Homo-oligomer: A and B are copies of this chain.
Amino acid sequence: MQGTEQPAAPTTDAYAPTGRTVPTRSADRASYDKELVHAILDEGYVCHLGFVRDGAPVVLPTLYGRVGERLYVHGSTGSRPLRMAGQAAPEGRAEPGLAVCLTVTHVDGLVLARSAFHHSINYRSVVVHGVAHQVTDPEEKRAALDALVDHVVPGRAADSRPANTKELAATAVLRLDLEEVSAKLRTGGVNDEPEDLALPHWAGVVPVRREYGTPLADADLAPGTGLPGYLAEL
Contacts and interface: CB of A to CB of B under 8 A. Distances in A.
Q: Give the bracket for the number of chain A residues in contact with chain B.
A: 35 or more
Interface in A176-221: 189-190, 192, 196-221
8 contacts: A20-B58, A116-B146, A116-B160, A189-B218, A202-B227, A207-B216, A208-B211, A209-B213
Contact of A101 (B50, B123, B161, B198): B50
A208 to B, nearest CB: 6
A88 interface: no
Contacts of A31: none
Contacts of A110: 152-153, 212
A112 interface: yes
A102 interface: yes
- Interface centre among A55, A62, A209, A221, by most B CB within 10 Å? A221
A127 B226 CA distance: 38
Contact of A121 (B63, B156, B196, B203): B63
Contacts of A50: 48, 50, 57-59, 101
A202 B190 contact: no
Main secondary structure of the interface of A (DSSP, over half): mixed
Contacts of A102: 59
A152 B122 CA distance: 12
Contact of A221 (B115, B125, B203): B203
Contacts of A214: 207
A94 interface: no
A134 interface: no
A143 B5 CA distance: 28
Contact of A222 (B56, B198, B227): B198
A107 interface: yes
A129 interface: yes
Contacts of A20: 53, 56, 58
Given A112-B153, A123-B61, A202 B159 contact: yes
